[in-house]
């Protein structure tokens, strides 16, 4: 049992967030829409350990402020699952720096990335201090028996994320990213 931070966990990662909540001491979920967080509260076996940080993650200062206050109140995080748009790279880096500087222990970062991350030479990996145990999870696609392809469903994404967290592999691909030209429109 540890302390978990989830960013972007109330959309397609919802079921993964519910699973994390079932085996965590404290789960802090970052988002803008409280109703989506309340959905997770309803689905959770026990919602006493859930906390919502209502913040737009593009606002780096406000995110920083909220994270620091939460850590002061509840203690450092052991794990973070982060699905953030590429437009919030500065906030992602700040988040990593805060979580690292507030613990002497190693903590795990599970960074969820879109399919395009499998193509780039330099992807959106943040600079990780030595106490970060970094894992990337790439969302791929499916090729059907009829030769057509489709993006992953929300259930496939959440199941894949749970599997990636359990396996602790450095890189996990949910579905596939090859052959790249077969990706859905
Ligand atoms: N390879 C693939 O299969 C693949 C890859 C990527 C996306 N997709 C598809 O793309 C669709 C959309 O993905 P999505 O990421 O837009 O939606 P999403 O995962 O359904 O929701 C985005 C999550 O991030 C949070 N969020 C977004 N912007 C935020 C902000 N500025 N500040 C704080 N939290 C923020 C949202 O909470 P709040 O709304 O509360 O802020 C929510 O928890 C999905 O339905 C998925 O199927 C598929």
CA angle 64–164–72, rounded 5-degree value: 25
| pLDDT value at 154 more than 90 | yes
Residue 176 has which token pair? 């596939």
Query: Which residue CA neighbors atom 12 of ligand 1 most closely?
Result: 12
Ligand 1 in reach of 160 Cβ (< 6 A): no
Residue ranges of the alpha helices (H) in 10-88? 14-22, 34-43, 60-74
The torsion angles phi and psi of 52, rounded to 5 degrees, stand at -105, 130
CA 52 – CA 40 distance, rounded (Å): 10
Mean of pLDDT over the chain: 96
Place of tokens 């193509």: 119
Atom of ligand 1 nearest to the CA of 88: 31
7 lies in which domain range? 3-182
pLDDT confidence tier of residue 122, bands split at 50, 70 and 90: low
Which neighbouring-strand residues pair with 81? Answer: 6, 110
Q: How many domains does the chain have?
A: 1
| pLDDT value at 56 more than 90 | yes
pLDDT confidence tier of residue 91, bands split at 50, 70 and 90: very high
CA dist list (Å): 113 to 1, 29, 43, 62: 26, 18, 25, 23
pLDDT confidence tier of residue 46, bands split at 50, 70 and 90: confident
Could you tell me what percentage of the chain is helix, strand and coil, using 3-state DSSP and rounding each to the nearest 5?
Answer: 40, 25, 35
The CATH number of residue 164's host domain is 3.40.50.720
CA dist list (Å): 146 to 80, 98, 142, 149: 38, 48, 11, 9
Ligand 1 in reach of 40 Cβ (< 6 A): no
Quote the pLDDT of residue 1.
76
Query: Ligand 1 centre and the CA of 173: distance in Å?
Result: 18
């Amino acid at each position: 049992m540890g302390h978990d931070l989830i960013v972007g966990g109330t959309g397609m990662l919802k079921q993964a967030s519910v699973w994390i909540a079932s085996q965590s001491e404290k789960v802090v979920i970052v988002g803008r829409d409280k109703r989506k967080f309340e959905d997770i509260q309803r689905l959770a076996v026990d919602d006493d350990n859930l906390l919502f940080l209502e913040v737009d993650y593009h606002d780096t200062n406000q995110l920083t402020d909220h994270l620091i206050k939460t850590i002061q109140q509840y203690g450092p995080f052991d794990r973070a699952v982060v699905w953030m748009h590429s437009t919030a790279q500065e906030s992602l880096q700040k988040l990593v720096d805060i979580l690292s500087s507030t613990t002497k222990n190693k903590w795990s970062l599970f960074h969820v990335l879109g399919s395009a991350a499998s193509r780039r030479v330099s992807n959106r990996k943040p600079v990780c201090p030595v106490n970060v145990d970094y894992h990337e999870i790439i969302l791929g696609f499916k090729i059907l028996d009829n030769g057509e392809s489709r993006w992953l469903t929300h259930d496939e994404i959440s199941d894949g994320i749970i599997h990636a967290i359990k396996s602790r592999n450095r890189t996990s691909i949910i579905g596939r990213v090859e052959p790249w030209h077969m990706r859905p429109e």
